[in-house]
Amino acid sequence: MSIKTISASKDFILLKDRITDFSEQVKKLSNIDFNQCYHCQSCSGGCPFSHIMDYLPNRVIRLIQFGQKEKALKCSSIWICVGCDTCAIQCPNAVDISSVMKALCRIAIEEGYLSEPDIYDFHKEVLNSINRYGRTHKLEIMMRYKLRKRDWFGDMGVGTKMLLKRKLEFFPSRVDNMEEIKQLFEENRI
């Protein structure tokens, strides 16, 4: 994962890069009125992952407001956001940033701006696991992800510790109603 914090002084917003309908595109997909945001930065202060994001959560909102499509879609923050909603709880205007981030990820995938392919691959393995079993089988997700990356020993220490603490099940278990899971995937065209 390539994470680079962008200093405020280098973070110029150039009006010539402005894509006028970008803000509307994100609003339509996320169903969130992010123009309520007045940049008090409570969200960024409370986000548990802001220290590894290249743009703080409220700055991602600002990129959208200023139509900076390429910067918003290429930033790592949209992939690092885990959707914990800490920001929305703290926001005085209840701006649901995680839905905005998800909408940006979707546009980034559709329009070929994938800046964090490793995170994207990991998400795919999680979804594949849910599709197979109706729930996640973490050991298999990790092994398939490692196979995809051809990186067998990178997290060996952590994996062994998790196995010893019985945080990873050796064998997967399926939910009873797999039909419902299948339907969910079909309805959402996953």
**Radius of gyration for the chain, computed over Cα atoms and rounded to the nearest angstrom:** 19
Q: For ligand SF4, which is the closer residue by CB, 70 or 85? A: 85
Q: Shortest Cβ distance from residue 37 to ligand SF4 (Å)?
A: 3
Q: How far is the CB of 147 from ligand SF4 (least distance, A)?
A: 28
Orientation of helix 57-65 relative to helix 97-110, angle to 10°: 60
Contact indicator for 58, 95 with CB cutoff of 8 Å: no
40 lines the binding site for ligand SF4 (CB under 6 A): yes
Whose tokens are 């559709």? That residue is 110
Nearest to ligand SF4 of 58, 68 (CB atom): 58
Q: Is 185 in the site for ligand SF4 (CB under 6 A)?
A: no
Cβ–Cβ < 8 Å for 57, 69: no
Neighbours of 3 (CB within 10 A): 13
Position among 24, 28, 35, 49 found at the interface with ligand SF4 (CB under 6 A)? 49
Task: Give backbone dihedrals phi and psi of 38, rounded to 5 degrees, phi first.
Answer: -115, 25
User: Which is closer to ligand SF4, CB of 99 or CB of 129?
Assistant: 99
Indicate whether 100 belongs to the interface with ligand SF4 (CB under 6 A): no
Residues in contact with ligand SF4 by CB under 6 A are 37-43, 47, 49, 57-58, 61, 81-87, 90-93, 95, 97-98, 101
